[in-house]
Amino acid sequence: MKTQLTFFWPLLFAASLPGQAPTADEIAGKSQQAFSYAGQDMVARVVMTLVTARGEQRVRDLTLLRRNADAGRQKYFLYFHSPADVRGTAFLVGKEPGRDADRWLFIPAINLVQRIAARDAESSFVGSDFSYEDVSGRPLPADSRKLLREESLNGRACYVVESVPKTRASFTRKLAWIDRANFLPLKEEYFDAQQALFRVFTADEVRDADGLPTVTRRTMKNVKSGHRTEVVFKQVKYNAGLGEDVFTERALRRPPAPWISGD
Amino acid sequence: MDLRRLIRLAALVAVSVCCASAEDIKLPGDWRGSIHGFGLVNYSARPDLEASPLRDGLGEHGFLLGDQRMQLKLEARSPKGTASLLAKPEFFYDAVAEKTGLGLREGYLDLAHDRWDLRVGRQIVTWGVGDLVFINDVFPKDYGAFFAGRPLEYLKRGVDAVNVNFQSDALSVEWIVIPPGLFTPDSLPPRGRFFQFDPFPSLPRQTDEPAATFDHTETALRLHRTVAETELSLYAYRGFGRTHALRPDNAAVPTRAVEFFPKLAVFGASARRSGLGGVWGVELGYYDSLDDRTGTNPAIENSQVRFILTYQRQLGQDVTGSLEYYGEQIQDYAAFRRSVPSGFPTRAELRDLIGVRVTKLLRYQTLKLSLFSFYSPRARDFFVNPEISYNFTDYLWAAAGGNIFGGPSASFFGQLGRNDNAYLSVRCSF
């Protein structure tokens, strides 16, 4: 816990007085913690379905491993089970707050570990409607925010927070409905340079996993193209005891069997 | 294309489609297995369909490639995952040579224990930071496949080797031993299919691979660790040059041209890190020509210093660009110049290449446009490879592109100038 407190100290410093509503930055901080940093580590089997406006589907089945480190750093390891063409492909991501993440890609056909240069805000994650940044979380200082109101969404009391990016982003404005009780984002609307709505995120199912509320079904829809990506998190486990050795070049070449099994 | 070929093609496609993949097959001893693979149809031809060094079959009509193949990927894993087996047998029909065959692309046993990994068998190893240029990656390549428009993975050939890995925070080690008798050379563009410079055009060829004696064991070593967010590697290799050298069997009255593989040692280093808004890399290597240290044997490459500088970055939404500069400098250049027989082409002391790659992904990364090119500022020769590929579904993929060579006729890409080709690949994976 200490490590996370270090990262979020500016938020604690601005802690609200009793009885006052939290500030927009506090809400965003708690939301990022609940959505992207829950537990010390996480293991999940993730099925991602990419659906075109005409209903054509592509499916990516992967194992996601995440481990938190100090000062907001995180490591992600993603292993693809299917489709057959990308089976065995693995991603290693070193998230560094304040700059683009370090990314390595393992291509099994030629046994090559490649380093990838990507700007997180502008790169689609494996062709889905999610950007790299949507997967691993946009840095808190990258946006300025306002708490617009509180309202109910699907029977859940929510804060409605507006974010405007201060650094490079795929949007010019974002509205987020954040659950008052567990701080998970239940809906996000992204607006483009013409102030038109172009992407909508929805948390379609929230479940407890190892005592931590988790968005187990989510959708990102591009309302302009009609394309959407549905993501289901299965077999979520927190605090599984992932070691640093899971996030290495060796693991890319030879996936850590205990965590990847279950084909 | 005659009827028989069409039937073979149809049969191959049908087998590929019908051969359903299988996951999680129960094997003896609680091992688990899986079956996957792909069917691939891959043709390439010169735009001028009449020009060809071949005088019969598809080759006569300018085809460089008529490849139909099915690759199976068979995997098995022990209950705890500490042991596994992989085999990739390939069945193919070469419509240019009108030949059917069976090959093993890769096949190995993996064992893991604590910090140690062992891989024994045919395996593909790729080292270094270059994009289509290699220094410390001393493992076999198939340039013929690459220049004829086969999928990029076929640029690499497997080695039959024992690969020992040790992983630690302080230093990780990859040690590869290729036993004598298992030497694998590079595959160069086949003389029958590619127009190219031949110093002994009228002589039959003979290939002398290194004899299977213990002192011909090849070893390659890579030490690596990350220091201050920079990935550092040191490399060493002792074995043989994989691109053949050529000498007449008798200097006075030659009857054969002998392809042989001189002894070679390579020492090098590489570094890679993020910076300047992208990722950059540098790699160096010293090629120690053990059989011609004085540089006086015209048949054997002199020792060389080779280097690569690379930089890649994202240029915009789903657009990536990379730039590299590669050079190789001949040592003992004066001795080299003196040793070249009159009438044979010589080369500059420094050969360099600028490599540029731009890749654009569209339509949710199902459509990929890429352009790769090499240009040598000194030799003024070039190579350009534009390609468009499309994923129709998760299982069906097609690519079309071209390989364009040019430059002075004695230059590396210039001598391949009559081999410009357009290619098409269709791949169905399961």
Helix residue ranges per DSSP H, B154-224: none
Alpha-carbon distance B140 to B144, whole Å? Answer: 12
The pLDDT value recorded for residue A1 is 37
Residue B218 token pair: 């090849």
pTM score, whole prediction: 0.92
- With bands split at pLDDT 50, 70 and 90, how would you rate the model's confidence at B10? low
Q: Is A186 helix (H, G, I), strand (E, B) or coil?
A: strand
Closest to A92 in 3D by CA, of A107, A82, A81: A107
Q: What angle do CA B46, B51, B53 make, to 5 degrees?
A: 105
Return the sign of the alpha-carbon dihedral for residues B148, B154, B158, B164: positive
Alpha-carbon distance B412 to B336, whole Å? Answer: 18
Alpha-carbon distance B397 to B375, whole Å? Answer: 30
B117 to chain A: which residues are within 8 Å by CB? 250, 254
Chain A (210-229) residues lying within 8 Å, Cβ to Cβ, of chain B? 227
B265 touches B303 (CB < 8 A): no
Which pLDDT tens digit goes with each residue over B229-251? 999 999 999 999 999 999 999 88
- All domains of chain A in start order, with CATH: 2-6+23-254 (2.50.20.10)
Which pLDDT tens digit goes with each residue over B245-292? 999 998 889 999 999 999 999 999 999 999 889 999 999 999 999 999
Residue B42 token pair: 């891959």
The pLDDT value recorded for residue A85 is 87
Closest to B23 in 3D by CA, of B69, B70, B76: B76
Chain B (253-282) residues lying within 8 Å, Cβ to Cβ, of chain A? 272, 274, 277-279, 281
Alpha-carbon distance A215 to A34, whole Å? Answer: 10
CB contact under 8 A, A122 and B172: no
Size of interface A-B (CB pairs under 8 A): 104
* Phi, psi for B289 (deg, rounded to 5): -80, 90
The pLDDT value recorded for residue A6 is 42
Mutate to test the interface with A, among B80, B394, B395, B396 (most CBs of A within 10 A): B394
* Distance set, CA A91 to CA A79, B117, B132, B249 (Å): 7, 20, 22, 52
Q: Kindly calculate the radius of gyration of chain A based on its CA atoms and give it in whole angstroms.
A: 18
More confident: B345 or B231 = B231
Q: Taking the CA of residue A26 as centre, how many other CA atoms within 13 Å lie in the half-sphere pointing to its CB? A: 12
Nearest to B314 among A59, A111, A118 (CB): A118
- With bands split at pLDDT 50, 70 and 90, how would you rate the model's confidence at B14? low
Q: How high is the ipTM of this complex? A: 0.92
B311 touches B325 (CB < 8 A): no
B274 touches A117 (CB < 8 A): yes
The alpha carbon of residue A53 is apart from the nearest alpha carbon of chain B, in Å, by: 12
- Residues 6 or more apart whose CB falls under 8 angstroms from that of B195 comprise B51, B53, B415, B416, B417, B418, B419
B221 touches B175 (CB < 8 A): yes
Alpha-carbon distance A236 to A255, whole Å? Answer: 19
The pLDDT value recorded for residue A119 is 85
Q: What is the mean pLDDT of each run of 10 residues along chain A (263 residues)?
A: 41 48 94 96 97 96 96 95 93 89 94 90 90 88 96 96 94 97 98 96 97 97 97 96 92 89 57
* Distance set, CA B346 to CA A205, B250, B330 (Å): 70, 22, 12
Which pLDDT tens digit goes with each residue over A100-136? 899 999 999 999 999 998 888 888 999 999 998 898 8
A119 to chain B: which residues are within 8 Å by CB? 314
Query: What amino acid occupies position A97?
Result: P
Locate the domains of chain B by residue range.
Answer: 114-429
Is any Cβ of chain B less than 8 angstroms from the Cβ of A261?
yes
- CATH classification (class only), B114-429: mainly beta
Which pLDDT tens digit goes with each residue over A39-64? 999 999 999 999 999 999 999 999 99
Q: What angle do CA B87, B93, B96 make, to 5 degrees?
A: 135
More confident: A101 or B163 = B163
Which pLDDT tens digit goes with each residue over B371-416? 999 999 999 999 999 999 999 999 999 999 999 999 998 899 999 9
